[in-house]
Structure 1
């Protein structure tokens, strides 16, 4: 990482993001959390505010959350840059990527819960959807997906739904080693794979094809 004085504002956002997320456990996604993160990184608070300019209701908070997501994206891409996913079945590639992201925010359940509450506000919904789509796209690309047709969009919509549902379980999971979350994720992925195999037989073809509406209905948050 370059010296803080040499960072662009975008690089500074990502550099500050993990510290902001840590402070958000106590201060929420607030100016106080940003000030705490800047102090921890030895960055001028005025400069940190330039990296996260206030722009309307929840604007700065959403920018901080977006930077946090981007920092996790970067960690994931660096972790799997060695090509180890290439030797895994597709379901294991996706599971490994999702699980890495969860482990990357372990201990920050409260920060996640506060972030989700902000993302759920009506004015923030479009940005939250974009964040989920972007992370799903990065996961699929790391998994080796090269689809450019209808499947490109449906795969990402489905994975974004799986990831969001799994996060909802993870943030309140108190089981040892997040065993309940692991089981939930496995069931969701297995359900997708089974349905796709059955559908391929019904259609008489072996080409991957996803039905967004049907899958999104199946991948709702757990009822209990």
Structure 2
């Protein structure tokens, strides 16, 4: 199994040269995934991928229930994010990474983010805002993929709206709403709407960051 530094370097190669050291959150998230992967190195990465998706979808149930169940929804979102990172750590650190697995993992990421948006809507965010949130989870990675098809080898530094940030924002928003569930029926919905709006704003900033980096790369 690769060392942690070797794993981070290999992760960067699989992600368009993006340096995880540019963000403490991303580096810490990847380090946590690598640490979790070490004792289960023999586990097929696809198992972690599938379980992560199921856990993300399961978060919608307690979000619909509302009240203190929102705490469970937030925990499930965080767990799904860790499982998603675990599959990548298992694949890369054990030398089992493949183009097929990379595409599958990216597709499942988008499905889990759709589940996050659905959980936020179920918890009280306006439907249109939840849709915008979900779209802005997808758009940065779509831009990176299209830039790669256009021959761009690197897409700049890590943005403010990478996957760990999306998971953390969704999970903390739902947990925060659960914490204040006893303060009044409208308070959790306000917390969820605010968190969803902040996430969407970060998505807009990330698209601008990536757009600028990709434009420079395409001009060279």
TM-score w.r.t. the length of structure 1 is 0.36
TM-score w.r.t. the length of structure 2 is 0.37
Between Structure 1 and Structure 2, the one with more helix by share is: 2
* Larger Cα-atom Rg: 1
Larger RCO, structures 1/2 (Cα 8 Å, 6+ apart) = 2
